[in-house]
Amino acid sequence: MFNFMKLEMKKHRLKGLIRGVISANIVILALITVIFFAEKSNRVIAFPDYTTLLAAIHSFIRPTMLMFTGVLLVRLIIDEGRNKTMSLMFMYPVTRSKVMLYKSVMVFAFGFLTIVLSNVICGAVVILVNPAVGFVSGPFDLSTLSKFFMQVLIDGLIIGGMALLPMYIGIRKFSVPATLVTTAILVILLLTQLGGSIPVLVSLSIIGLIAAFLAVRKINVMDM
C-alpha cells in the first residue's frame, strides 16, 4: 500500500501541492501577525490567551486544508478518470477496489495530516516567537495545549472524511468543476456558524466516508 502511495505521489508531482500547503501556512502566520498588530494599533488585545490565538490559527487552517485536499482528490481520482489514465491504472496487477481504496486513503490522510501538521507548525512558531513579539501576555500551560491538540486531531479526522464527500459527485462524469464546487461549498460551510457545530461536522464526515465507499463500489463495476 505504501509503495503504491509513493508511486502516486511521484506520478502526480505531489511535492508541488505540499509546497502550496507550506506557503499557505506562511500566509496564515502572516495574517495572524497582521491581525495582532492591527488590533494593537486600535488598542485592542487580539488574543487574550493561548486558547484564542491557537483557535484563530486553527480556524484559518481548517478551510484552507480542506480546499487543498479537494485539489488532491481531483488530481488522484477525477483527473485520472477524465483523462482516461484511470483505465491504465486498472490494467495493473492490482484490483480496482484496492486502487480506489488506496487513493481514497491518500485523500483522507492528506486532509488529516495537513491539518494536524499545519497546526503543530504554526502553533510552535507563534509559541516560540511569543517572547519576542508578544502575541499573548497571559500564561502558557500544557493542559491548554494538550486540550487544543486533541481538538485538532478530532477536527483532522472530521475534515479527512468530509474531503471525500465530493468524490461521489465528482465521479459521475469525472467532472473537475463539480468536485471543486462541492469542496468549496463545504469550505464555506466551515466558515459559517455551522462550522462550529460538532454534530453537523461529524455527520458530514460520516456522509463523506459513505460517499467514498459508494464511489469505490461504483467504479468497481464501471465499464471504462
Partner 1 sequence: MTYIIETAHLTKQYGEKQVVSDVSMKVKKGEIYGFLGQNGAGKTTIMKMITNLVRPTSGEIHLFGERFTRDSVHVMSKIGSIIEYPTLYGHLTAKETLQLHCDYMGFRDDSSINESLELVGLQDAGKKRVSAFSLGMKQRLGLARAIVTKPELLLLDEPINGLDPVAIKDMRQVFKTLQKQYGMTLFISSHILGEIELIADTVGIIRNGALVEEITMSALHAKSSGSIVVETNNANAAAIVLKEQLAIHDFEITNEKQLQIKNSPVSEHEITKVLVNHDIQVNSVYKSAYSLEQFFMEKMSGGALHV
The residues that touch partner 1, with contacts defined as CB under 8 A, are: 3-4, 7, 10-11, 13, 83-85, 87-96, 221, 223-224
Pick 7 or 120: Cβ nearer partner 1: 7
To the nearest whole angstrom, how small is the minimum distance from the Cβ of residue 106 to partner 1? Answer: 15
Pick 13 or 147: Cβ nearer partner 1: 13
For residue 148, give the nearest of 76, 217, 49 by alpha carbon.
49
Query: Distance from first CA to last CA of the chain, Å, rounded?
Result: 23
To the nearest whole angstrom, how small is the minimum distance from the Cβ of residue 210 to partner 1? Answer: 23
Compute the half-sphere exposure of residue 178: CA atoms within 13 Å on the CB side of its CA: 14
- CA–CA dist 170, 164 (Å, integer): 10
All cell numbers assigned to 181:
464546487
To the nearest whole angstrom, how small is the minimum distance from the Cβ of residue 219 to partner 1? Answer: 12
Which residues make Cβ contacts (< 8 Å) with residue 194, sequence separation at least 6?
200
All cell numbers assigned to 107:
485523500
To the nearest whole angstrom, how small is the minimum distance from the Cβ of residue 169 to partner 1? Answer: 23
- CA–CA dist 109, 74 (Å, integer): 15
Pick 102 or 168: Cβ nearer partner 1: 102
To the nearest whole angstrom, how small is the minimum distance from the Cβ of residue 190 to partner 1? Answer: 31
All cell numbers assigned to 17:
501541492
Pick 1 or 198: Cβ nearer partner 1: 1
- CA–CA dist 22, 134 (Å, integer): 24
Pick 3 or 143: Cβ nearer partner 1: 3
DSSP assignment, residue 224?
Answer: -
Cα–chain center distance at 54: 17
Pick 84 or 147: Cβ nearer partner 1: 84
To the nearest whole angstrom, how small is the minimum distance from the Cβ of residue 50 to partner 1? Answer: 43
